[in-house]
C-alpha cells in the first residue's frame, strides 16, 4: 500500500496554509474554493484526490475453507 500512502500524505498546493489559514483573507479564499470545488476548473483537483484510491493493489487471497 506504499504508493497509496505516499500519495495520500502529499500536501495540497499551498501546503498547511490550505488547512489552517492565518488571516481573514485566506479564510475567505478557502471558503470560496470549497464552494467552487465541484465546478470547473477546480473539479479536476477534486477528482485527482479521489483517484488516489486506484493506487491500492491487493494480492489475490485464497478463499477460506468452508466449515462442514
Domain for residue 39, yes or no?
yes
Domain for residue 59, yes or no?
no
Domain for residue 17, yes or no?
no
In sequence order, the 6+-apart residues with CB closer than 8 A to the CB of 43 are: 37
Is it the case that residue 68 has pLDDT exceeding 70? no
pLDDT at position 24 is 92
Which residue range is the domain that position 47 belongs to? 23-54
Number of domains in the chain: 1
Domain for residue 38, yes or no?
yes
HSE value, Cβ hemisphere, 13 Å, CA-based, for 24? 0
Residues 6-64 have pLDDT tens digits of: 877 877 766 777 678 888 998 898 888 778 777 777 777 777 777 777 767 778 888 88
Contacts 24+ apart (CB under 8 A), 51-54: 52/4, 52/7, 52/8, 53/4
Q: What is the pTM of this model?
A: 0.43
Amino acid at each position: 500500500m506504499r504508493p497509496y500512502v505516499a500519495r495520500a500524505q502529499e500536501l495540497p498546493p499551498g501546503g498547511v496554509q490550505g488547512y489552517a489559514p492565518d488571516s481573514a483573507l485566506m479564510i475567505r479564499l478557502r471558503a470560496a474554493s470549497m464552494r467552487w470545488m465541484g465546478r470547473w476548473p477546480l473539479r479536476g483537483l477534486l477528482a485527482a484526490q479521489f483517484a488516489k484510491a486506484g493506487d491500492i493493489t491487493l494480492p489475490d487471497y485464497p478463499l477460506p475453507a468452508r466449515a462442514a
